[in-house]
């Protein structure tokens, strides 16, 4: 009888678990009042693909070091053209495993385009006119471990390529340990009359340095952990370290020049898969990699010694100068102004693939406020300003925000713990879902504003219009045909750098039909001045900068149907025809 009762209870439990699982199923439209785990991101992508099969393609583009799938979602309306014939917009996130909200921006962008298609005129046009390529999680191992393991706000950034950080012949053997099992790696402190710290008199949770001759109260012991390899050190050999934003191919430098570079460019197997995906989409004209934190829009180049052509800066500016209006408090600057880097995303995509590339550094900690408006804008005196801007002042403000706005969810109160080496200590401090991540109540605003910048880029991609504006017979069987080409948007049809480096076939006009005697760019329409091309006049090579117009003239011998094609790798092709 007991056996049957147990079986009944088990079946009922399984049934309720199944019901709970169904209730937790991710549905479209997606929710952004929470963060998604790695598995949930994949489920969200599958849900979008299932809900919009005619507009999306979902594929696994590769696997990580730990054999996790890397998904890419393509949004394109095939009724308005094949994806590679349209200006491509690329975005990815979570290249560093702890930079979680970057993945949420990518999911939000996809969700916005798909759920508003057919309802919002501008969104519908962007889906019809552009191809959108979205990889929410680049560092899939890092995101998985950030959620599943104990972490600080800054750990699990690396590609999980084992590395002997402490040069003891062992690999990744002494990472921080979640001693109290709460899913966070917080700080350890021990009471010590000879310590360098004492409790802040205003908030005892904060430790401040003692002055010379002053009695100490605590010693900080670092993050939670034990001496796993018995070498007398704590937490000195964590996962990795290969920084995936120092492992791209352009201007890569070895580890002795730049920490985290890896042994060779694209040594991260997952990162190489992402690169191969980008390479397979030659129509990508603008790309984003989302990170945290700081509130910045960073553009190429990442090294101060590299100079860009002014027309390329103008295309960057067409987006960047508007982006800061969409995301208040952010700054727009070349990457090198923050600090020089080598083997970074923006330079790799710009110089190798001819796409205008940005890094979006998400979230500003100074948004975590608990202060009167008058003090936020102007302090009462210089001393108060200094206190507010000091590290202690910032910590006080953050704790007030935690206590009064986030209901204490961002900070772990100090609690006693018996450490196997140190004995009685206390563990506490900022939890992993803090500091570099906004509280979930702030997430909706963040993902929407930053997705709106990507959307601005899509609307700014080259929109080429072509018309034959004059056909004139200038002698028997000889016609003058004039064509006007115009880019109505702010981003160039081809980077000047790509033209200079001959990355791919330049944009061009191609005349089909008749015998083209001469052809060239009109330099002065009113004076009939034309810069005729010496060889193969039926083909005219050029690039169309943002908000520009160009006119070309062809002298064509013969009669019948004549067509002129505008051909571009990154802007949509155009055609015009006339009967002579």
The 10s digit of each residue's pLDDT in 415-449 is 999 999 999 999 999 999 999 999 999 999 999 99
Q: Which residues pair with 356 in a beta bridge?
A: 286
CB 362 within 8 A of CB 293: yes
Of the pLDDT bands very low, low, confident and very high (cuts 50, 70, 90), residue 240 is confident
- pLDDT of 295 > 80? The answer is yes
174 within 8 A of 237, measured Cβ to Cβ: yes
Structure token digits, residue 33: 């009042």
CB 291 within 8 A of CB 99: yes
Summarize pLDDT for 476-498 with one digit per residue, the tens: 999 999 999 999 999 999 999 99
Residue with tokens 């401090």: 429
Phi and psi at 204, nearest 5°, equal -65, -10
Structure tokens that stand for 563 in this block: 């067509």
Residue 237 has pLDDT above 90, yes or no: no
Distance CA 250, CA 68 (A): 26
Nearest to 540 by CA among 498, 568, 580: 568
Two tokens at 512? Answer: 């089909």
Give the distance, in angstroms, between the CA of residue 426 and the centroid of all CA atoms in the same chain.
Answer: 38
Q: Is residue 1 predicted with pLDDT exceeding 70?
A: no
Give the residue from 545, 550, 564 showing the smallest Cα distance to 499: 545
Model confidence pLDDT, tens digit, residues 343-383: 999 999 999 999 999 999 999 888 898 987 765 555 444 43
**SS3 sequence, 421-434?**
CCEEEEEEEECCCC
Chain region(s) in the chain for CATH 3.40.630.10: 2-146+271-363+440-456
Task: Return the CATH fold of 2-146+271-363+440-456.
Answer: Aminopeptidase (3.40.630)
| pTM of model > 0.75 | yes
Strands 197-199 and 515-524: unpaired
Per-residue pLDDT band for 98 (boundaries 50, 70, 90) equals very high
Length of the chain: 580
Average pLDDT over residues 172-194: 95
Residue-wise pLDDT for 36-55, tens only, equals 999 999 999 999 999 999 99
What confidence category does residue 450 fall into, taking pLDDT thresholds of 50, 70 and 90? very high
Domain with CATH 2.60.40.1510 in the chain: 464-579
Residue 138: CB partners within 8 Å, gap ≥ 6?
A: 70, 92, 93, 94, 95, 244, 270, 271, 274, 289
Assigned CATH class of 464-579 = mainly beta
Instruction: Give the span between the Cα atoms of 106 and 451, in whole angstroms.
Output: 7
């Amino acid at each position: 009888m007991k056996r049957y009762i147990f079986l009944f209870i088990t079946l009922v439990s399984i049934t309720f678990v199944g019901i709970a699982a169904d209730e937790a199923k991710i549905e479209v439209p997606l929710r952004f009042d929470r963060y998604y785990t790695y598995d949930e991101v994949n489920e969200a992508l599958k849900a979008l693909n299932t809900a919009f099969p005619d507009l999306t393609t979902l594929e696994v583009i590769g696997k990580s070091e730990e054999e996790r799938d890397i998904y890419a979602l393509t949004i394109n309306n095939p009724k308005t053209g094949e994806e590679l014939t349209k200006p491509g917009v690329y975005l990815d996130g979570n290249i560093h495993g702890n930079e979680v909200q970057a993945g949420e921006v990518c999911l939000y962008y996809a969700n916005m385009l798909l759920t508003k298609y057919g309802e919002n005129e501008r969104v519908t046009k962007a889906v019809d006119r552009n191809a959108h390529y979205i990889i929410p999680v680049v560092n899939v191992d890092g995101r998985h471990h950030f959620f599943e393991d104990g972490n600080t706000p800054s750990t699990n950034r690396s590609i999980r390529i084992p590395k002997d950080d402490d040069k003891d012949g062992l690999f990744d053997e002494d990472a921080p340990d979640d001693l109290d099992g709460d899913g966070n790696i917080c700080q350890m402190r021990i009471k010590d009359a000879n310590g360098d710290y004492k409790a802040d008199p205003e908030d005892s949770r904060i430790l401040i340095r003692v002055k010379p001759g002053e009695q100490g109260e605590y010693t900080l012991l670092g993050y939670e952990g034990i001496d796993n390899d018995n070498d007398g050190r704590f937490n000195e050999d964590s996962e990795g370290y290969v920084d995936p934003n120092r492992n791209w191919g352009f201007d890569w430098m070895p580890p002795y020049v730049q920490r985290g570079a890896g042994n060779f460019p694209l040594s991260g197997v997952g990162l190489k898969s992402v690169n191969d995906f980008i390479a397979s989409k030659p129509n990508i004209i603008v790309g984003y990699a989302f990170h945290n934190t700081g509130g910045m829009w960073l553009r190429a180049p990442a090294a101060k010694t590299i100079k860009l052509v002014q027309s390329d800066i103008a295309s960057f500016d067409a987006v960047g100068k508007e982006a800061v209006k969409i995301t208040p408090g952010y700054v727009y600057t070349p990457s090198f102004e923050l600090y020089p880097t080598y083997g970074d995303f923006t330079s790799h995509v710009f110089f190798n693939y001819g796409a205008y590339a940005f890094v979006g550094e998400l979230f500003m900690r100074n948004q975590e406020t608990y202060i009167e408006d008058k003090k936020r804008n102007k302090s009462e005196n210089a001393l108060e300003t200094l206190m507010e801007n000091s590290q202690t002042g910032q910590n006080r403000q953050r704790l007030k925000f935690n206590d009064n706005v986030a209901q204490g969810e961002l900070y772990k109160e100090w609690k006693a713990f018996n450490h196997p080496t140190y004995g009685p200590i206390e563990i506490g401090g900022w939890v992993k879902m803090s500091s570099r991540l906004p509280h979930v109540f702030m997430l909706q605003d963040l993902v929407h504003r930053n997705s709106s910048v990507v959307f601005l880029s899509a609307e700014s991609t080259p929109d080429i219009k072509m018309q034959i504006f004059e056909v004139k017979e200038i002698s028997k069987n000889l016609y003058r045909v004039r064509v006007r080409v115009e880019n109505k948007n702010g981003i160039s049809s081809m980077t000047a750098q790509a033209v200079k480096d001959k990355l791919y076939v330049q944009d061009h006009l191609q005349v089909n039909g008749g015998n083209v005697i001469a052809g060239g760019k009109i330099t002065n329409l009113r004076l009939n001045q034309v810069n005729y091309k010496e060889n193969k006049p039926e083909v005219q090579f050029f690039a169309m900068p943002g908000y520009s117009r160009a006119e070309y003239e062809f002298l064509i011998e013969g009669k019948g149907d004549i067509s002129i094609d505008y051909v571009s790798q990154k802007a949509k092709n155009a055609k015009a025809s006339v009967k002579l």
